[in-house]
Structure 1
Amino acid sequence: MGIRSRRMPALRWAIPVVAVGLIATGCGSGDNGSTAGVSSSLGSSSDINPKNADELRDGGNLRLATTSFPANWNTLSTDGNDAEIGDIERPLMPRAFNTNAAGELTVNHDYFTDVQLTSTSPQVVTYTINPKAVWSDGNPITWEDIRAQAKALDGTDKRFLIAITVGFDRVEKVERGADDRQAVITFKQPFAEWRGQFAGNMSLFPKSVTADPETFNKGLVDNMGPTAGPFLVQSTDRGQGRIVLGRNPKWWGDKPKLDTITYTVLDRTAWVQGLQNNELDAVSLSTIDDATTVRKSSGVVIRRAPGNRWRHITFNGAPGSILADPAVRVAISKAIDRQGIATAVQNGLVEKPKPLNSHVFLEGQAGYQDNSLPFDPAAAAKELDALGWKLNGDTREKDGRKLVIRDVMYKDDTWVQIAQIIQQNLAQIGVKIVIETKPGAGFFTDVVIPGDFDATQFVFVGDAFPLSSIPQTYGYDPGDWQNNFGHIGSEELNTLIDRMLSELDPQKAIALANEVDRKVFEEGHSLPLTQSEGNWGVRADIANFGSPGLASYDYTKIGYLK
C-alpha cells in the first residue's frame, strides 16, 4: 500500500476501508443512496450502478475534480507517485490484470492475450502482448517497453528517480519471446507478487519514457507522453486547472461510451458544492457534512462500498530530527488515541468507526490482523521519562531541547481536526505539536520528499497487491529512500521483507507480511489512522462508476443512462 495521496478523497501510492461502508443516518427508504456496501467489508462489494453497454447513450462528458495539476505525469517517478495523478491516468495506460470487488485477478485482454508463470525454478513469467495494442504515437507495444521499464525500476542506475521497484530489483533479465509481442522475464530471486508488476496501481509506460534517466525524471513534467488506453490526453491548461481526456482514435478495444472525461483543479472544500451546483458529476465524500449536503441535493445519489485509501501519520527519523530515536517515536505512538480519531472523523459515516491496525493489509482483505501497539499514555509518559525527556512546565525537555513536533499536512479540514486531536493527546504527556498546513500543489515535491517535517499526514492507497510496495515504504536503503519519507528502518526489517517477497506460497507470504507489519509498528515508523469510508456522491444517471472497492473500472463502459 505505497501509492500516496495528499488528501482523503471520497485509491497504493502514496497509495492506497472500514468494516462497514454505511452512512448511518438516513439509510431508510427515503435515502437517495443505494444500499450496496451496507454491512459489507472490503473484498465483498462495490457500488458503481452496474449497467450493460446497450443501456447507455453514446457520448457525454464525465466531470471530475483533482486537488492540483500533476507535478509529473510519470507515476513511476518519485515526483509523480501520487494517487490523484494515477486516477487521471487510469483510462490512459496499459495494465496486465483487471480486478473484481474481491480482489480476484483476470488477464486484461485489451493489452495481453496471456500472462503466465511459466517456471518456478528459476521463476519465469511470460507476457504475450495483444497484437493490436499500440501507443498513441502509432508505435506497437512490444517486449522492449517491458524490458526498458524493468531496467529503469531495478534500482541499479541511481539516475532514475524511481518511486518503487515492484520486484524489478529481483529480475535477472527480460528477453524477446516468440516475437516482438512477447516478453520473457527471468528472476534471479523469487518474487511473490509478480502479478502486480504491471497491474493495480502500476501501469506500463513506453520505452520512450523509461529508457533514459533524464526523460524518465523530467520528460513528463509538463505533458503526458504516449499513452495506450481507450482515452488519451486531449488538452491541458495549467493556468485554468483543466485536463480533458478524449477518445483515443487508435484504440482497438470496445468503443468508450463517453466522449470526454474532464478533470478540474479544485480545493477539496469546493468539491461537494461543485456537485451540488451541477459543475461536477462525482466526488468523494470525507465528512458527515459532505454526506448531508449530497443527500439533500437533487439528481445525485450516494454510492458506498468500503474504500481502499487510508490515512496515516509518518514520523521523521532522519539523523538530527527531534524524532530520530525510535524509542521516542514508539512512546509518542502509544499516546495517540487512534480510536478517538476514528470516532471523531467517521461518526455518522460508518456504523462502527475503528482505527486501521495494519500498515500492509486493509480491513476485509485476506491477511488483515491487528498488529498495532496499545493506546497507553501512562506507559508513554514513563518511557519518555526513562529516555531523559523530563517535564519542564508543560513541555518535556532534554539537553536544552524541547520536545516540540511540527506536524505538516495538506490544508484540509479533516486533516486539521485529526492534528488537533493528536495535539490534545500529546499535550497530556508533555509533548507539544505545532500544526502546519500546506497547499496541495508541491506538497510532496517541496515538503514531504525533502523531509521538511517532524511528522506528516497524508493518504496511502491499497490495492490487490499489498506486498509489492512494502520495500519502497518500509525498506531501509540510505541511497534510495523511494517512499520511505521518514528515513526509518533497519537491516533486520530488510531481511524480513526479503523473506516475505521471496515466498511464493501465498499463505506463508501473508504470515511473513504480518511479521513485517508488527516490526514497522515497533520501529515507530508511522501510524495507520483510519481506512476510507468509500462514500461517493455521484449523479444518478451515471453507470459503472462510483465506489468500486478493490475492483478496477472498465472505462469503456462508464457513461450516462439512456
Structure 2
Amino acid sequence: MIPRTKAFGTRFAISCMAVGLLLSGCSDDRGVQQASSAIGATNDINPKDRDEIRDGGNLRLALTAFPATFNALHVDADGDVSEVVGWTMPGTITADAAGELTVDHNYFTDVQLTNTSPQQVTYTINPKAVWSDGSPITWEDLRSQAEALSGRDNDFQVAATQGYSRVDKVERGGDDRQAVVTFGKHYAEWQGLFNPLYPKASTQSPSAFDTVDRAGLPVSSGPFVITSIDRAQQRIVLSRNPKWWGDPPKLDTVTYSVLDYSARLNALQNNELDAVSVSGIDEVKTATNSPGITVRRSSAPRFSHFTFNGAPGSILADPKLRIAISKAIDRQGIATATQNGIVQNPKPLNNHIYLEGQKGYQDNAESVAYDPDEAARMLDELGWKLNGDVREKDGRKLQIRDAMYQQDSWVQMAQIAQQNLAQVGVELVVQTYPGNGLFTDVIDPGNFDIAQFTWSKSIFPLGALPQIYAYDPANPLSNKGRIGTPELNALIEEIISELDPAKAIDLANKADRMIFQEGFSLPIVQSAGTEAVRTGLANYGAFGLASADYTKIGFVK
C-alpha cells in the first residue's frame, strides 16, 4: 500500500501501480468510472459514523518490501515504513480532504505560532498522552528529535532535515507538557514539524537513531502498537494499544504482509487482503467487476518519475546530456498508455513541487518538452555520434541502465522510454529488482543511471525542496541523483524562509524551472489514486490529502 501516514513531510515509496494486468474472477461487467487527475477537495473512503462500524476484525494489507527500519526519520526508511508507523506514532496535526489543517488533539491541546521575530511555536501536549511504556510524552521528546534532525551532526543518518535545520532551540514551557521551539531562521512550513514524533530514546544519539527502531518499535504511541514481526513470513501485526487514551479503535488488529505486486489483486479477490492500490485500465476494470470489491477514487498526492544519476563519473553527469535524454522521452505517450480510461484527459505532470489542482501548480517543463529532433541535434553537438544503432563518444556506448521495482507498470513506462530513446540512438537497458533492497542496495548507493520510483507528496509541498532538490555532497539526504547547484541551494534557502505564502509560491516555481533546466529528474504522471477495497470496509480507501483516522477504520455492521 502507498503510505497513509501522519508524516506529512515528503516520503518516497516504491510505486504500487500495475498496467495491463488482467486477473480472472470477474462477475457482471460494470463500467469503469473515469476521474479527474487533479487533487481536489473530496476523497472516497466510504465514511461511516463509529456506531455503524462493528467492533473487532483484522484489516489485511500488503507491503512492497519488508521495512529496513521502523524509524521513519532514517535515511533507510521508505513509504512502507511510513505506512506501518502511521498507526503507531503521534503527530501534531491532521488534514481533511481539502488539505485544511487542524491540531491533532489526541496528542496536543494546542500548537500556536506565538512569535515571528524570532519565529516561535509553542506546543502544548495533551496531558493524557503517553508512550506505550506508560511514560509521558514531554518537551524533551521534541527537543531530542529537533536536535537529531537538525543536520548539525552528520552521524545522524536522517532522511531529511527540513525545518529542523532552522530550529535554534527547544525549551521547556510552563511545564514538562509544553515545548517552546525557537527558530534561528524563518521556516514557512512549520506546521509540518514533528509528524511523526519519536521518543527521545530513539533520537538521543546517532547510535540510538540507527539501532533502537531498526528491528521494531520498542516504544511507540498511538491507537495501535506492533505486536508481532515475523521476518521469515514477511508479516507484521499491529494490535490495539492498551495504553491508548483516545477513542478506542474499531479494529482488533492490522496485518501487513509483503506480497509481490502481481499477486495482490488475486489475493484481494480471494479474500486474503482487504485493500490494494490498482492502476491501468485492465486492472481497474477487473477490480470493478469483482464481487465484494469497490474501486474508490481520489487523486493521490504522489507521482511517478525518472531520476537521473548525475554523480561524478556517471554517464549522465553532464546536465546537457540529461536534458537531451529528457527531450527524447514522450511523457504524453506514457501518460496515455498508463492512465487512458482511468482519468479524464491523461497528461504528464509538469511540476516537481506542486501537483495539478494544488495551489501554486503551473507548467514549468518547457526545457524538457518532447522534441526528438532537438534531442538528436543536442546529442550530436555533445559529441555522441551514431555508430550503427547506438551512439558512441570516446569509445563509450550511450547505454543507460534504468533501475526499477519489478512490476508491470514500471516496465511498461520503461519500454516506452526505451523505444523513444532508440529512435535517437540511445540504448536503455531495463533492470528490475524486488522490493526488498531496491533502495538500500541499488538506488541509495547510486547503482543506476536512471531510477524509476514514486515520490509521495503532501500538503507541505515546499518540504521536498531541501530534502530532495538541494545538494550537499557530505549529506545528500534524499537527493538520489547527486545533482544540484549552489544557485538552487540558495534559492531553496530563500523559499523556505518566506512566510508570505504567495511569495513562496512564486519563488518555488522559479526553483522548479531551475530543477527542470538542470535535468534533475523527469516527472511522469500524477497518481489517479484508485484503490480497490472490500466493499464493507469503512473510513478507508482513496484518502486524497486527508489524514486517516485510525480509530474509525473498520468493517460495517
Distance 1:221 1:110 in 2: 26
Identity of matched residues, %: 59
Q: Output the CA distance in 2 between the equivalents of 1:113 and 1:43.
A: 29
- Aligned residue pairs total 538
* Structure 2: 5+ residue stretches without partners: 1-8, 19-27
What is the aligned partner in structure 2 of residue 22 from structure 1?
none
Q: In the alignment, is the contact (CA less than 8 A) between 2:139 and 2:177 conserved in 1?
A: yes
C-alpha deviation, 1:310, in angstroms = 0.7
Given that residues 2 and 470 in structure 1 are in contact (C-alpha distance below 8 angstroms), is that contact kept between their aligned partners in structure 2? no
* Deviation sequence 1:530-554 (CA, Å, 0-9, x none): 1111011111111100001000010
Deviation at 1:8, TM superposition (A): 2.6
Map Cα deviations across residues 483-540 of structure 1 (whole Å, 9 max, x no partner).
0010000000001101100100011111111111111000000000011110111111
Aligned to 2:128: 132
Counterpart of 1:249 (choices 242, 245, 248) is: 242
SS of residue paired to 2:105: coil
Per the alignment, residue 281 of structure 1 pairs with: 274
Is the partner of 1:140 in helix, strand or coil?
A: coil
The two structures have a TM-score, normalised by structure 1, of 0.94
C-alpha separation between the residues in 2 aligned to 1:7 and 1:508? Answer: 32
Alignment match of 1:67 (pick from 64, 68, 75):
64
Cα offset for 1:465?
0.7
Tell me how far 1:32 sits from its aligned partner: 8.3
The answer to whether 1:42 aligns with 2:39 is yes
Runs of 4+ in 1 over 2 A off after TM superposition: 7-10, 29-33, 37-41
2:540 equivalent to 1:545: yes
Residues 431-489 of structure 1 show CA distances to partners (whole Å, capped at 9, x for unaligned) of: 11011111100110000010000111000001101111211101010100000010000
Q: Deviations over 1:246-289 (max 9, x none)?
A: 00000010000111111111001111001100011111102222
Match of 1:328 in 2: 321
**1:192-271 aligned within 5 A:** 192-199=188-195, 203-271=196-264
Output the CA distance in 2 between the equivalents of 1:41 and 1:430: 35
Between 1:134-143 and 1:287-296, the stretch displaced more is 287-296
Tell me the TM-score normalized by structure 2: 0.95
Contact 1:101/1:549 (8 A) holds in 2: yes
The question of 1:3 aligning with 2:11 is answered yes
- Partners of 1:42 and 1:433 lie apart in 2 by 33
Query: What is the match of residue 387 of structure 2?
Result: 392
Match of 2:461, SS state, is coil
Describe how 1:401-550 pairs up with structure 2 within 5 A. 401-550=396-545
User: 1:113 is matched with which residue?
Assistant: 109
SS in 2 for 1:244: strand
Q: Distance in 1 between matches of 2:472 and 2:17?
A: 31
Using the TM superposition, give the Cα deviation of residue 85 of structure 1 relative to its aligned residue in structure 2, in angstroms.
1.3
Distance of 1:2 and 1:523 partners within structure 2: 21
Query: Equivalents in 2 of 1:474, 1:292: separation in Å?
Result: 37
Q: In the alignment, which residue of structure 1 is the partner of 2:186?
A: 190
Q: Secondary structure at the match of 1:77?
A: coil
Aligned CA distance change for structure 1 residues 160 and 39 (closer, same or farther; 3 Å): closer
Q: Displacement, 1:9?
A: 4.7
Instruction: Give the letter aligned to residue 139 of structure 1.
Output: S
In structure 1, what is the Cα distance between the partners aligned to 2:544 and 2:15?
18
Other-structure match for 1:18: none
d(CA) in 1 for partners of 2:412, 2:145 = 41
The 1:399/1:30 distance shift into structure 2, 3 A limit, reads closer
| Matching residue within 42, 48, 52 for 1:55 | 52
CA RMSD of aligned residues (A): 1.4
Aligned match for 2:344, one of 334, 347, 351: 351
Partner Cα separation in structure 1 for residue 169 and residue 242 of structure 2: 34
1:379 aligns with 2:392: no
Deviations 1:367-389 (A, max 9, x none): 11111131111111111111111
Displacement of 1:172: 0.7
Summarize the Cα distance change of 1:381–1:39 in structure 2 as closer, same or farther, 3 Å threshold: closer
1:52–1:30 distance in 2 versus 1, CA, 3 Å = farther
CA distance in 2, matches of 1:222, 1:9: 28
Residue 198 of structure 1 aligns to a residue whose secondary structure is coil
State the shift of 1:30 in Å. Answer: 7.8
Residues 43 and 103, structure 1, Cα contact 8 Å, conserved in 2: no
Does 2:141 align with 1:148? no
SS of the aligned residue for 1:459 comes to: strand
Secondary structure in 2 matching 1:195 = helix
Q: Distance in 1 between matches of 2:535 and 2:400?
A: 45
Does the CA contact (< 8 Å) of 2:303 and 2:524 recur in 1?
Answer: yes
Aligned to 2:354: 361
Q: Is 1:296 aligned to residue 289 of structure 2?
A: yes
**One-letter amino acid matched to 1:64:** L
How many angstroms does 1:88 deviate by? 1.2
Query: d(CA) in 1 for partners of 2:541 and 2:72?
Result: 23
Match of residue 181, structure 1, among 148, 156, 177: 177
> Mind listing any 5+ residue stretches in structure 1 that lack a counterpart?
11-28
The answer as to whether partners of 1:411 and 1:438 remain within 8 angstroms in 2 is yes
TM-superposed CA distance for 1:46, in Å, is 0.3
For 2:421, what is the secondary structure of its paired residue? helix
- Three-state SS of the structure 2 residue aligned to 1:330 is helix
Alpha-carbon contact 1:2-1:473 (below 8 Å) kept: no
CA contact (8 A) 1:166 1:196 kept: no
Cα distance in 2 between the residues matched to 1:305 and 1:206: 34
Task: Please say if 1:171 is aligned against 2:167.
Answer: yes
Matched letter for residue 531 of structure 2? W
Residues 8, 532 of structure 1: 8 Å contact kept: no
Quick one: structure 1 residues 348 and 231, their matched pair in 2 at CA, closer, same or farther if it must change by over 3 Å? same
- Return closer, same or farther for 1:2/1:325 CA change in 2, 3 Å cut-off: farther
CA–CA separation in structure 2 for the residues paired with 1:30 and 1:252: 46
| Shift in Å, 1:42 | 1.0
**Equivalent pair of 1:91/1:231 in contact (CA under 8 Å):** yes
1:339 corresponds in structure 2 to: 332
Structure-1 separation of matches of 2:239 and 2:222: 10
What is the distance in 1 between the residues matched to 2:91 and 2:105? Answer: 10
